Amino acid sequence: MIEFETILSPACTHVGVQARSKKGVLEQACQCLAEAFPEIEPRRLLEGLLARERLGSTGLGEGVAIPHCRFDRCEAPVACFLKTERGIDFDAPDDELVDLLFVLAVPLHEQRIHLEILGALARAFDDPGNLASLRRAPSDQGLFDTLQRQLAMSQRE
C-alpha cells in the first residue's frame, strides 16, 4: 500500500490557486515543491513536466489532471495537490477545463512505484463523489484531509 502522507504534505496542498495556463499552474506547483524540498530545482522540474505533457496530456477528464515525470533530483516521490480558482485548459480528452491537479515527481529508478501511484490516483479520481468532495473543500488542510481519506479508501478496494 502506498503511503501518500509521505508523498504529499499539507504544505504542498492548496485551494484557490490563481493560474490561467497549464504552464502557469505547473510553475506554481514546482515552486511549492522547491520550497518544501530544497533539492528540487523548480526550473528543471518544470522542464520535465512540460516535456511529459508534450508526449500527451496528463488530463484525465472530469476536470482532473495528474502532471508527472521522473526526476533525477528527488530521492523519493513528492507531490503537490492544487485546486484552482478557475479551470485551466489542459488538453483533456473530454475537453473540460481542469481545476484539480496532482503534480508528481518520482525518482528516475522508481518506475514500479510511479505506476502504482498513478493507478491509485486514477482509482480515487474515477469516483464522481470523490471529485465533488474535493471541490467542496474550503481550506488547504480540508483538501489535504479529504484527498488522504480518498486515497486510503481507493487502495482498500
Task: Compute how many other C-beta atoms are within 10 angstroms of the C-beta atom of residue 47.
Answer: 14
- The residue annotated as part of the active site, out of 14, 68, 109, 114, is 68
Site of grid cell 491509485: 120
Provide the H-helix boundaries in the chain: 22-36, 42-55, 111-125, 128-136, 140-156
- 68 in active site: yes
CB contact at 8 A, 105 and 78: yes
Distance of CA 122 to the CA centre of its chain: 11
d(CA 40, CA 153): 30
Catalytic positions are 68
